[in-house]
Every structure is written in structure tokens, then in C-alpha cells.
Amino acid sequence: MMMILLKQIFVMYVLMFVGFFLYRKKMVTDEGARDIGKILLNIVIPVIVISNFWIEKTPERTADLLHSMIISSLCMFISIVISYFIYHKRNRIDEFSTCFSNAGFIGIPLVQATLGSGAVFFISMMIVLVGVLQWTYGVYTITDERKYINLNKIVTNPIVNSVLIGLLIYVAGVPMPSVVNNVFTLISAMNTPLAMIVSGVYLAQSNILTVIRKKEVYVTSFVRLILIPVVTVFVFRFIRFGSQDLKLAILIAGACPVGANVAVFAQQYDKDYRRGIENVCVSTILSILTLPFIVYLASLILS
């Protein structure tokens, strides 16, 4: 599993460099990157989520779904509590950054490569929680104003809606036509390349030499990539329900680098979005070292 993870991370960073190169050579613009992000958010990720619910309903899978909901909630609770106590009175951008991982763009392809495509089923509830909490608790974290919490954004969120659609299909036991399966397979295959190219574009928007000299971004990355996942691993050790693969899938999603939405939210509410971009870039680079370590630690503790 460690070798699979290392190979996948290497491939993902090659793809990220492609995005970096394309942006620096002006082959991809800011508008183009935003369009790719819209394709991912509105088409690719929802298709992946729905396809992972579009399976035969069994008591075992229903139990996995319930366990996933509980364990994902616990994972997010740990992340929120640690981020709050470290950063709430110091830096709200860093608090948001450490609280929310890139569970969708980076978490899904990593879980697919490490545990198989079916394991995305395990992290679907985690992805929903990240999305819902970003538009509620996350907005409040950045703005310190409850009035900016937009419940309409949750209702119209394509990932949240895809999980609801997937749940309905799963409960109803609707069979998937072969043509739909083929289309979904092709669309799902777009996720890793597009997600990492967009991440490379974000990376290219920062002055790397300037960013890597800032001590603060390393502290933020340590909290996001090491402290929160390590605490989560030890808490998971005492959970007596849920398979090891389920826990590992949720852990991988929760140990991913800073979610790119921190820059989007910060810019939208006139906060320090550049600090958000710096956190995204540095944590994404460092995650090539930390993710294998967290998975190795989990394999020792959770086995």
C-alpha cells in the first residue's frame, strides 16, 4: 500500500507540474483554471460520488455508510477543535486552512489509487461534511460574522446534491445501465489529471522562493498535515466499529493538504487570500512526504 501511495503521489505531482508549466507559459489562464475547476466541481466529482453509491444494496454496505458518517463526523470534529484552539485568536485564514483538507480534489484520487475505486464510497460523507461546514462554520471562521453564512450555497452545492441523489439510488436499488456505467467511468477518469493541473496553476500563482522563506506557512502545514492526522489516528485506534479500509480512507481524506477553497473564500470576503494561496501551495508540496508517513503510522496503529 505504501508503494502504491508513493507512486500515486509521484504521478499526481507530475500532473501538478504540467499545470504549473502551462500557467507559467500562458497556455492556461486564470479564467481557464476556473473553468476547469467548475467542470470538476459540477460534473466530475458528482459523477464519482453518484457512481460509488450506484451499487447493490447490502446490509454490509449500509453499515459501512452509517459507520462512515459517524467516523467522518469525528474526524471533522477533531480538526475543528485543534484548529480553533491553535488559531482562533491568532489568524482566521490559518484556522480555516488547518481545519479543512482538500478531501475532494486530492483525497478522491489518492483513495482510489490506494484502496480501489470502490473506497470512494467510504469518504463520500466526509466530502459532504467538508462542503457543508466550509459554507457555514468556515465562512464564520473567516468573517467572524454569522450574517455571511449562506445556507442556499449548501442546498445548491453539487457535491451535496450528488450524495443525496446517490443515496436515493442506493436505497431504491436502481440498477446501472451499461451505457451509463461506461460514461461514468470515462468522466471519473478525468478527476486526477484535471484536479492536479488546477493545483499546479494555484502553485504557479505564487512566488515559490518568497513563500518557502515564511516560517508561518510551515507551522500551518505541520498542524494540517501532521498534528491533526496523528491525533486522528490515535482516536481511531479506540473505535471498535468500521473496517480498517474505511478508517484508512477517511484518514487519507482528512490528512490531505489545505483545501483550495480557503483562497476562494478569503478573496470573496476581502481577507488575506494570498496567505490562503501560500498555505495551499506549501502544504501541497509537503504532503508528498507527510501522507506516506501518516498511512504508515495508521497501518501500524489500526492493524
Q: Could you tell me if 221 and 279 are in contact, meaning their C-beta atoms sit under 8 angstroms apart?
A: yes
pLDDT in tens, 142-152: 887 776 666 77
Q: Give the ranges where 134-236 is alpha helix by DSSP (H).
A: 139-143, 151-155, 158-172, 178-188, 191-204, 208-211, 215-222, 228-236
pLDDT of residue 1: 62
Mapped onto helix, strand or coil, the DSSP state of residue 74 is helix
pLDDT of residue 277: 80
Can you name the residues that pair with 258 across neighbouring β-strands?
101
Q: Which three cell numbers stand for residue 300?
A: 501500524
How many angstroms separate the CA atoms of 303 and 292, rounded?
Answer: 16
For residue 155, the domain's CATH number is 1.20.1530.20
Taking the chain (303 residues) in runs of 10, the rounded mean pLDDT of each run is 71 84 90 83 84 85 91 95 91 92 82 81 84 83 75 76 87 89 89 80 76 87 96 94 91 90 76 82 86 89 82
pTM listed for this prediction: 0.81
pLDDT of residue 35: 86
Q: What is the DSSP letter of 174?
A: P
Q: Which three cell numbers stand for residue 259?
A: 483545501
What is the count of structural domains for the chain? 1
Find, among 275, 266, 287, the residue nearest to 222 by Cα. 287
What is the domain extent for residue 131? 2-301
Reported residue count of the chain is 303
Mapped onto helix, strand or coil, the DSSP state of residue 139 is helix
How far is the first Cα of the chain from the last one, in angstroms, to the nearest whole number?
13
Find, among 164, 43, 35, 185, the residue nearest to 104 by Cα. 43
